[in-house]
Chain A
């Protein structure tokens, strides 16, 4: 039998037959299955768990839940290290390893605690007032010191080895929280047949019931709990999700949740994620998230051994742990009195019960007497003392007399704050409720109802009634026949009297408001004195509530102290807005699978497999992976391969995949009219069986996209777009049709994915194709001239489309076949072209060929250029209206001195041009005013034997023959280039018509 010094003899939801070994700060300990790290540490007598943020004060365990500000540890090690993990919610597992953080060299001996000596200077906002001189010291000295001292835990500096998932769920009713209100809600909705999801952040369902010795219907509440959970588990439409925190509410009933699938295991099981990020789409929701107990502000209230009363009950009743043997209870209300009884029953000595309320209530006096405890009505703890953990407290009695009480546990309770955070995520403002002495939900988001403690209704009976009623109302609203109201079980009456104590003055030492950020009552006073009085100013100036606990235990104390300073009520002071997430969420859980190569989906061309077998080197090109070049044996650098590919096209025949271009099929009586309106140039007169280059502007007059569009029939066009803009052009065309001109009779559909398309380019392309095209189709120059388009068959009956188009400036074709034949088409063309030396080429060579020919592409269509800038002004028809026509006439778009397209070649032919270089006149200095434009695209032309470029330069082609500087200081380049025609190859276009 494992012996834990502070474990009770029996009871609790732990499995005493299953010991679990774990390590903390290098020492071995044991707990039981069902423990949290915090409960196991307490059972082993470990009180000192961490050091505070600023003053490095010793800190212990304040709570038993996610609100924990103090007991933060680095959990696990190596690449799995998780900083700032709350020991209070970390489920114990075999071999768990945890380390304290923010201390040096060790937890018990922390040299950084000298900060405490400087504490008088480290008050709210001190850094805004200092470190200003000398200013060069800020980045070099002051800031590095601050940065090193700040922060809490250390993140792993290695790739997260675990995996995450995203999941989606839909339900009629989402219930958040599995305390009595949540269980009642889930049960009522489940019985009606509605689809219910119940999320519970804890690994065990039951909420606060797990921590209380309560009775329902005269039996232990745990029996009711077990029966209720069993019934819920038996209902098909109910999904129970423990270890799942609903962290945020987004618009229209979309909830974000994170499920900790494997955090209770040493490593995730095979094929299981560490965590799963959920999007839950809920038609209705019941928030039954309970409430968070409030501590009291007094000197030394951060000492290990000072603990929330509800946490004490949780450790005693749920985990079978005595957080101390000599206990004092300091409470502002009735509800925490059960703590004393529970502790006593578990074997602790109750030294005293200090109830801040002055009226000496006989029933309470009687209870204290039974427990053998002093009852100090109207008393207050002025200070908690001890070295590294609680040793004694000083108490100011109602009479004013000071008493010292030795103790190792001080349970504190100042009432509760409803866990209403989700009601505030859509900007709902909590409102102060005087009866509940708490902020309660104000405007509740549509579809949500709030039950029990979360609504500031404190009793068990109210929780059960609320959950049942609100759930039945919600499902009735959705059209279900609600189950009859549940029979209300008999529950003993509860006293919920409360008179909060916002701070106890007069003790020596620091009194903390925000434990984790080391914000004291004095800091709040300074903020008030300096005018930072609004709640947001208070938060931002003092950092109150900005720590990892998001102020769950501190916000209200801070507001109350500010209210005290300003003489306003708490209600008038108001509260800051709660932001998602409710508790911090691992970034991995929200990213899911999207990392590494799966960060974004990868689109593969229908000829990809063929390219892969041909040895292509692939490159990311937007969403696509495209063949960049096809190295041959013996080629050691990309340029050698690309040069070979380019020359093959110029001298023989090349083959290139162009399937990624956008393809839009447009049909209808008004199809030609439509094209007239979306393109700058004319379409009405395009004959059937012909293609034409088209230029599209945005409505603001700048160039949007270009491509060729073919007329396949009188009322049938096939448009191509650039790869990058395929989707945006489709969207734009649908806008033009559905919104601007719905009267036009046409239909369009994207057929980008339906066709595999290859460019077959070079002087031997016709001969190559002729071998593949089926007999009846004549592709001779006479029968199938430049810009001809025809629907044909290839390879014995496979439907195909043949376009005589040329991006390279050579005699060239594009052949399209249904996408499933993509790889086969490439293989067949290679086969048929073998005699002509057919050479596959990738997008590098494609780029070289188009630059040599002076065709503009993405680098020139950059959204900042006009048609005239690109030498395409002649395509702007004066005889019709089209998208962008009018705005293109604005003065700035027609200024003659705009940078215009030209070609560039190095004066020293050995110089390598680079895109992104700016142009300057030879004599001018390098200033912004002298900037003439920039190089947009460059390539090494194997044909010319030197680098060539396209660029935009003031004066454009009117300056052909002049020399300018290509200025590229970020890459150390600055040399002379000569302005030339952008067409470096065959300016008369003889080859492509040949």
Chain B
């Protein structure tokens, strides 16, 4: 499997570490509820199809990436940095 890292180019997936679903929102702060945090930590859509997921380019640029991939056939639709534009240092 090849992942086209926006910083490093197409690299074998073995350079990356995998974390799973990308669009989970961590309930931040002291007001967060245990129920919401339990959902965040444990429950997954786990779709058979399109999944936005987090990969970490540990053997490359050290960036977390959001890869949009079809879990049925591993085809990759898009790869983008997880860190939103405009939040890079100096921006």
Contact = CB atoms under 8 A, between A and B. Distances in A.
**A and B directly contacting (CB within 8 A):** yes
Interface in A267-312: 279, 281
B46 interface: no
Given A735-B64, A887-B38, A880 B76 contact: no
Given A739-B83, A890-B34, A734 B2 contact: no
Given A251-B2, A254-B2, A731-B58, A886 B73 contact: no
Contact of A250 (B1, B34, B84): B1
Given A254-B2, A739-B82, A742-B84, A734 B62 contact: yes
A743 B87 contact: yes
Contacts of A740: 26, 28
A57 to B, nearest CB: 43
B84 to A, nearest CB: 6
A426 interface: yes
A699 B26 CA distance: 10
Contacts of A887: 34, 37-38, 41
A433 interface: no
Contact of A252 (B2, B32, B40): B2
Interface in A425-484: 426-427, 446
Interface in B71-91: 73-76, 81-84, 87, 89
Given A700-B41, A742-B83, A254 B12 contact: yes
Interface string B21-61: 01000111110101001101100000000000010101000
Contacts of A700: 41
A742 B2 contact: no
A864 interface: no
Nearest to B19: A735
Nearest to A891: B34
B76 A252 contact: yes
A140 B19 CA distance: 47
B32 to A, nearest CB: 6
Contact of A426 (B29, B73, B81): B73
A881 interface: yes
B32 A886 contact: yes
A2 interface: no
Contacts of A19: none
A834 interface: no
Contacts of A735: 19, 54, 56, 64
Contacts of B2: 251-254, 281
A958 interface: no
A738 interface: yes
B63 to A, nearest CB: 7
Interface residues of A, number: 32
A880 B58 CA distance: 30
Interface string A229-272: 00000000000000000000011111000000000000000000
A745 interface: yes
Nearest to B1: A251
Query: How many B residues touch the partner, as a band?
Result: 20 to 34
A164 to B, nearest CB: 19
Nearest to A252: B2
Contact of A747 (B28, B56, B89): B89
A700 B28 CA distance: 14
A507 B81 CA distance: 69
Contacts of B40: 699
A727 B82 contact: no
Contacts of B75: 446
Nearest to B81: A738
Given A734-B62, A735-B56, A881 B30 contact: yes
A955 interface: no
Given A731-B58, A742-B84, A880 B64 contact: no
Contacts of A731: 17, 56, 58
B19 A886 contact: no
A386 interface: no
A108 interface: no
Contacts of A924: none
A250 B1 CA distance: 7
Contacts of A745: 89
B82 A738 contact: yes
Contacts, number: 69
Contacts of B1: 250-252, 254
A598 B42 CA distance: 39
Contacts of A253: 2
Interface in A718-770: 727, 730-731, 734-735, 738-740, 742-743, 745-747
A10 interface: no
A423 B9 CA distance: 27
Contacts of A781: none
B5 to A, nearest CB: 13
Nearest to A878: B30
B29 to A, nearest CB: 5
B24 to A, nearest CB: 9
A361 interface: no
A11 interface: no
Nearest to B87: A742
Contacts of B12: 254, 279
A427 B58 CA distance: 30
B56 A880 contact: no
Interface string A880-903: 110000110110000000000000
A126 B82 CA distance: 57
Nearest to A426: B73
B28 A739 contact: no
B73 A427 contact: yes
A880 B75 CA distance: 42
A281 to B, nearest CB: 7
Contacts of A738: 63-64, 81-83
A881 B32 contact: yes
Contacts of B63: 734, 738
B40 to A, nearest CB: 8
A378 interface: no
A889 B56 contact: no
Most buried by A among B19, B28, B37, B63: B37
A785 interface: no
A889 B17 CA distance: 29
Given A700-B41, A881-B29, A886-B32, A668 B89 contact: yes
B30 to A, nearest CB: 5
Contacts of A743: 87
B58 A727 contact: yes
Contacts of A281: 2
A880 B84 contact: no
A151 to B, nearest CB: 34
Nearest to A700: B41
A699 B74 contact: no
Contacts of A446: 75
A700 B1 CA distance: 30
Nearest to A737: B83
Contact of B64 (A734, A889, A890): A734
A538 B73 CA distance: 27
A739 B58 contact: no
Nearest to B88: A742
B31 to A, nearest CB: 9
A880 B30 contact: yes
A696 B28 CA distance: 17
A734 B87 contact: no
Q: By CB atoms of chain B within 10 A, which of A252, A253, A727, A745 has the most?
A: A252
A889 B89 contact: no
Contacts of B58: 727, 731
11 contacts: A252-B2, A254-B12, A281-B2, A427-B73, A699-B26, A734-B64, A735-B64, A739-B22, A743-B87, A746-B89, A890-B34
Given A426-B73, A745-B89, A747-B89, 13 more contacts: A251-B2, A252-B1, A446-B75, A700-B41, A731-B17, A738-B63, A738-B64, A738-B81, A739-B22, A739-B54, A742-B83, A880-B30, A887-B38
Give me the 8 closest cross-chain CB pairs, A-B, nearest first. A742-B87, A252-B2, A251-B1, A738-B83, A886-B37, A251-B74, A738-B64, A742-B83
